Chain A
């Protein structure tokens, strides 16, 4: 293998010489690496990221070459994987889970010529940006539909981990429902996992037994929807369209589409115009897409849903604008104000109407 390495080195040297002497020549494809927290599978968080990767390949063709590593644990292993991707010549690396933040930062320091983009965190560096979808916009719209479709005024959410992102979604869902139906209450069961079909199923069954008749989720498996279908109640898809798992119960889904971000970022890196920043996108930017509404959704609900969606796309409305009260009734956001970004990022309370307390 020594000889092969030698050839590789010389060709690399020659290529870099060429690149320096003739900057206008068509360059090597940009190698783009992706680190996934789960298996790609056929639904959910990682699946959505991989769809973004495929869209990037399709859009930029021979200009990019992508590589991914799936099921990378968020502990000590992620640093090695990220570093390996950088060593293998990837010049742009997307790390797609919160737990990769500190490892990404460490590797970014060691590879100043590689650009890193970390999803759902809060750190940036000279060669590291972060990105996150305003997923709560979609959660709010699910709430609007749920508020209209519930008969018992009792909603439930199968939740993963009590982190700000998930709390934003639970609160937005509840606020959306209250906007059309002030009487609703939301129950939450934490399953302490992003993907655990057995636990998700159990949580859904428990809430149905407690009288919940529309279920939301902030987890990755279609188990909640399947339970809903069995018990004849309604639920929503999450991260990706899950209608095939429960055609009767699936009212719509809050889905992520990372294609725009991946394509735009790769283009910026190729053009040399990339700058580290905190990129956010929602309905307006096309990062969040709502799946088609189920035929069961009433005309009334459809109207409310479309109106709020339009307002968010136009920018005339955001879910966390006042007045918003927490569980104790204390004003969190005054009427006419919107929640500051820092508070939004570190959200740690339930709005009025959510039952129970945040696990400590």
Chain B
């Protein structure tokens, strides 16, 4: 019999190596999977992980898809570090898209340079307003922010659906549920001619740097880190838990909201019944694979984006089922969690231990 025992000191090196290990294990299992599906593993590997990035357009698409993942992921990571669990980024993204979209549709006939900044601001506020609900309930009534933020995702979806079926429906659109296409002034500028990557990517980069600065160079960021790593010490130091909850939700809400604007004012160009294929949820994986560090999150978002796009090319060229994308994403998180478990715990033969091993009951999985 083997038991798990808490390590006295988790290895810092391994903490940063574990995403690499997880990715490696995912690739290994993936190639076994490819051979079971009757494909040459090397060819599968090439089509899945290399080919999408071999053209300029492909790279543009990777960056485009990584943008909302980065925005949501960086915001979530700040909160997760402080043990504040915002699971509802997809809802905040949707509300941001609605707020930004309303601005675009209201100023349909205005051709002015301030429309886009106004849309981004509206999007951030929309996301924050939606994030304020779980923050308020948590700080006032100690309600679980995990449940509240998650449930509100579906409310946001339904609200968007109501709007495009009703008040915001395109009057010339044969009663199909979609808004008018946004005017050119309400579309984010494209960075490179011929690609779809737009200015939202630059915003994401800027905010990633900003988030790094916030968490390592400001006192508010420091307070949040301490609260996450040592809650008792934080209380002793007089750091307010409520302030952390609010900060975490406001930052992640604003960033998710901006991600929503990036989608509707970017590749979509209108409001439609669904604006996100679950970026807010995928961002949770992204945040953890990125070790809750802004730069790590950016890299993880690129990897995640590659997993999505690689799945498409695997379908096209090797006729593999679409479920393979979900499989790869799931494997990545699974191996990461497994690796993290062994960073914090180690096996110990049960009979030789004088003190009983600590059961796995710690809430947090990563640092």
Q: A122-B176, A164-B175, A359-B165 are in contact. List 9 more A-B contacts (CB 8 A).
A: A39-B323, A69-B322, A70-B315, A71-B322, A75-B267, A80-B312, A98-B176, A102-B269, A348-B175
A68 at the interface (CB under 8 A from B): yes
Name the 10 nearest CB pairs between A and B, nearest first.
Answer: A76-B267, A360-B166, A73-B277, A71-B322, A346-B174, A348-B175, A346-B175, A70-B322, A69-B315, A164-B175
Contact in complex: B277, A164 (CB < 8 Å)? no
Residues of A within 8 A of B315 (CB): 68-70
Q: Judge if A313 is at the interface, Cβ distance under 8 Å.
A: no
Residues in A whose Cβ lies below 8 Å from that of B39: none
Q: What residues of chain A lie closer than 8 Å to B309, measured between beta carbons?
A: 80
Per-position contact with A for B256-275: 1 when CB-CB < 8 Å, else 0?
00000001001111101111
Residue in B57, B166, B272, B315 with the greatest tally of chain A CB atoms within 10 Å: B315
Would you call B329 an interface residue if the criterion is a C-beta within 8 Å of the partner chain's C-beta atoms? Answer: no
Interface string of A55-97 (1 = CB under 8 A from B): 0000000000001111111111101110111011000000000
B168-181 Cβ-contact flags toward A at 8 Å (1 or 0): 00000011110001
A73 touches B274 (CB 8 A): yes
Contact indicator A81/B312 (Cβ below 8 Å): yes
Q: What is the chain A residue whose CB lies nearest that of B275?
A: A75
Interface string of B303-333 (1 = CB under 8 A from A): 0000011001101110101110000000000
Q: Which residues of B contact A347 (CB under 8 A)?
A: 175
Shortest CB distance B164–A (Å): 10
Nearest chain-A residue to B157 (Cβ)? Answer: A192
| B316 contact set on A, CB distance < 8 A | 67, 69, 84-85, 88
A-B contact pairs, 27 of them (CB 8 A): A39-B322, A69-B312, A70-B315, A70-B321, A70-B322, A71-B322, A74-B273, A75-B268, A75-B276, A77-B308, A79-B196, A79-B267, A80-B309, A81-B312, A83-B57, A84-B313, A87-B57, A88-B317, A99-B273, A161-B165, A163-B175, A164-B174, A192-B158, A345-B174, A346-B174, A360-B166, A360-B167
**A286 contacts partner chain B, Cβ-Cβ < 8 Å:** no
Option from A72, A75, A99, A192 in Cβ contact (under 8 Å) with B161 = A192
Considering residues B269, B272, B322, B323, which has the most beta carbons from chain A within 10 angstroms of its beta carbon? B322
CB distance from A292 to the nearest CB of B (A): 31
User: Is A17's beta carbon under 8 Å from chain B?
Assistant: no
Q: How far is the CA of A75 from the CA of B316 in the complex (A)?
A: 19
User: With an 8 A cutoff between CB atoms, is B347 at the interface?
Assistant: no
A299 at the interface (CB under 8 A from B): no
Instruction: Write out the residue numbers on chain A whose beta carbons fall within 8 Å of the beta carbon of B321.
Output: 39, 70
Complexed CA–CA distance, A164 and B170 (Å): 14
* A-chain residues with CB within 8 Å of residue B196 when the two chains form the complex: 79-80
Query: In the assembled complex, which residues on chain B have CB atoms less than 8 Å from the CB atom of A74?
Result: 272-274
Contact with A along B50-71 (1 / 0, CB 8 A): 0000100100010011000000
Q: Whole-angstrom distance from the CB of A152 to the nearest CB of chain B?
A: 31
Tell yes or no: B222 within 8 A of A by CB.
no
Would you call B273 and A161 a contact (CB within 8 A)? yes
Q: Does any Cβ of B come within 8 Å of A335's Cβ?
A: no
CA of A174 to CA of B145 in the docked complex: distance in angstroms?
46
Is A102 within 8 A of B277, CB to CB? Answer: no
Chain B residue total in the interface (Cβ 8 A): 41
CB distance from B212 to the nearest CB of A (A): 27
A1 interface residue per 8 A CB criterion: yes
A197 is an interface residue with CB less than 8 A from chain B: no
Chain B residues lying within 8 Å of A360, measured Cβ to Cβ, are 162, 165-167
Instruction: Name the A residues within 8 Å of B165 (CB-CB).
Output: 161-162, 359-360
CA distance A98 to B158 in the complex (A): 19
Question: In the complex, A84→B47 CA distance in Å?
Answer: 13
Please give me the residue from chain A that is nearest to B169 by CB atom. Answer: A360
Bound-state Cα–Cα, A85 to B272, Å: 24
CB-CB under 8 A from B273, the residues of chain A are 74, 99, 161
| A75 and B176 contacting across the interface, CB-CB below 8 Å | no
Contact indicator A161/B175 (Cβ below 8 Å): no
Q: Which residues of A contact B162 (CB under 8 A)?
A: 359-360
Contact B272 A75 (CB under 8 A): yes
Q: Which residues of B are found within 8 Å of A164, using beta-carbon distances? A: 174-176
Partner of A102, one of B166, B181, B322: B181
| B263 adjacent to A99 (CB under 8 Å) | no
Give the complex CA separation of A76 and B158 in angstroms.
19
A249-300 with Cβ < 8 A to chain B: none
Query: Distance in Å from the Cβ of A312 to the closest Cβ of chain B?
Result: 24
CA distance A161 to B157 in the complex (A): 14
Hey, which chain B residues are within 8 Å of A72, CB to CB?
A: 312
* Cβ–Cβ < 8 Å partners of A192 in chain B: 158, 161
B181 proximity list for chain A (CB < 8 A): 102
Q: How far is the CB of A339 from chain B (nearest CB, A)?
A: 14
Q: Complex formed: what's the CA distance from A282 to B166 in Å?
A: 30
- Chain A residues within 8 Å of B313, by CB: 84
What are the residues of chain A within 8 A of B277 when measuring CB–CB? 73, 75, 77
- Scan residues 324-358 of chain B and give those whose CB is less than 8 A from a CB of chain A: none
Residue of A nearest to B323 (CB): A39
Contact with B along A87-122 (1 / 0, CB 8 A): 110000000001100100000000000000000001
Provide the B98-110 mask, 1 if CB < 8 A to any CB of A, else 0: 0000000000000
Residues of chain B contacted by A83 (CB below 8 angstroms) = 57
CB < 8 Å neighbour of A161 from B64, B177, B322: B177
Pairwise interchain contact A99-B272, C-beta atoms closer than 8 A: yes
A39 to B270, CA, bound (A): 26
Q: Which residues of A contact B64 (CB under 8 A)?
A: 76
Q: With a CB–CB cut-off of 8 A, which chain B residues contact A87?
A: 57
The answer for the CA separation of A79 and B65 in the assembled complex, in Å, is 12
User: Considering the chains assembled together, what is the distance between the CA atoms of A39 and B322 in angstroms?
Assistant: 7
- Tell me the complex Cα distance, A329–B265, Å: 43
User: In this complex, what residue of B is CB-closest to A1?
Assistant: B54
Chain A residues near B274 (CB-CB < 8 A)? 73-75
A286 to B196 Cα, complex, angstroms: 41
Bound together, the chains give a CA A179 to CA B24 distance in angstroms of 65
Q: Which B residues are in CB contact (< 8 Å) with A161?
A: 165, 177, 273
Which residues of chain B come closer than 8 Å to A163, judged between CB atoms?
Answer: 175-177
Within 8 A of B (CB), among A120-143: 122
Q: Which of B181, B270, B316, B317 has the most CB of A within 10 A?
A: B316
* Nearest B residue (CB) for A121: B176
Query: With A and B bound together, what is the CA distance between A84 and B321 in angstroms?
Result: 17
